[in-house]
Chains A and B, each alone.
Chain A
């Protein structure tokens, strides 16, 4: 056997082994997610949010919405936040040094005025300029500050919030009206230990949005966005539900997450020097609580829904995925000392190694395998039946995971009401694996390489098309 032959065969064996361990790991996660969602479903049958809605014991929540040049949509966004159903909440908009008229629009729309305010930050931020309060709506305040990036803006909002919990959202997130009540429940049930809760994020493209809330759920018309509907279901229902089951959740999406304010302040707030500030905060909270040996839980509730716009073109998709993978790389590198460290329990022994092996490095192995296995066949090192079986197995496993996520959605939530929508998503579970997955893997490799080169990070935003595109949805 020549050296080349030996290397190629060894790599093939490695890819096969990796594939087995990767899919085994996903199956375990899927099982944990199924258990978690079954519990959730069982609970949903016997509980309602009515008592939270009228309870003086409901923890106070500040919804912190960072805004940078959001002039076009900021007023509607704040109006939709004010329409949320929760007994005890306020909205803190942070104008992060916008160069457009974001601030003026808010001032005009909500009759706001600057007030005397002693800014005493628990978390350091870029220069605070003024606090505005509305003369007519006591639940809204606006922080005007120098530009410092999204994380810095959220930190300023956390400093100003005078509540037990802070809910962090993107300025263009659309929340279900009962999202706060549903995600506050874990804090009511377990106030001592629960420190953070994430909710599911869904794709809003195509759905009908009225007065800042989704009134009719539809599938997007664009193929890319349809695939992302499934991708999000898989990530949230199969992934995060599973990790939540074992208190190993590493990500609470920046689009919607609720945190105990005192804990966020205690760990120093959101990090301003990473693209993965949402994940970084959660990992830091794990680290802090485990080091201090304090009992805690970070949970995921599959029902409080946040809707977000997904990219519908390749340019924006590429840019988003590169950014996400850079964030992931950075966070895992920063907290590398937690990996395989028993002091950090499930997070150190399982969650971080899983993310390194099967999230960070997966695209590298996947694309290498995709190239080298056929090359091995063309060189005559493996036979075609093996190549075909291996490729089919990889493809079918991807499809199986997507369909299983869809089954979890169907079992516990069923947000897509028609059979036609369900079948469309089934079709896209097949389509996703024929090109899309490989494309995103390539973007993730680029993100990894960029982060390793430490290219400059900036607060980017997608080219948004807005939520009013009801006519762009499926024609059902």
Chain B
């Protein structure tokens, strides 16, 4: 099996694992894990086409935020329930570990390289979800406002 397939499957399993750790209701388990799978697929697709960590994380985390908001509307739950399992595969655990490991080894070149990657990951995730939430709330407000005006007429 290629590494990509393993990553997608393990992202699905990892998302399910985290959903269980956070005591999710079993009826939401499957959809929460599918969020993790989709976010990993999107990350890999963007990564192969643009080869930029920041942009891949940005797009993928923005997707997670929208996915969670949509699911939250459908199932009437807080969006966090679907958001956390979806986004968890994007957390830069690997590069965080190597950053600190090269720090101890005193390899300043690799340390700064991995440190930058970790920072870019975190920044990409933060920017992606921030932008997605901002757009989501704007659109939501516009729709409710327009609906209100139509009702008044």
Q: Do A and B bind each other?
A: no
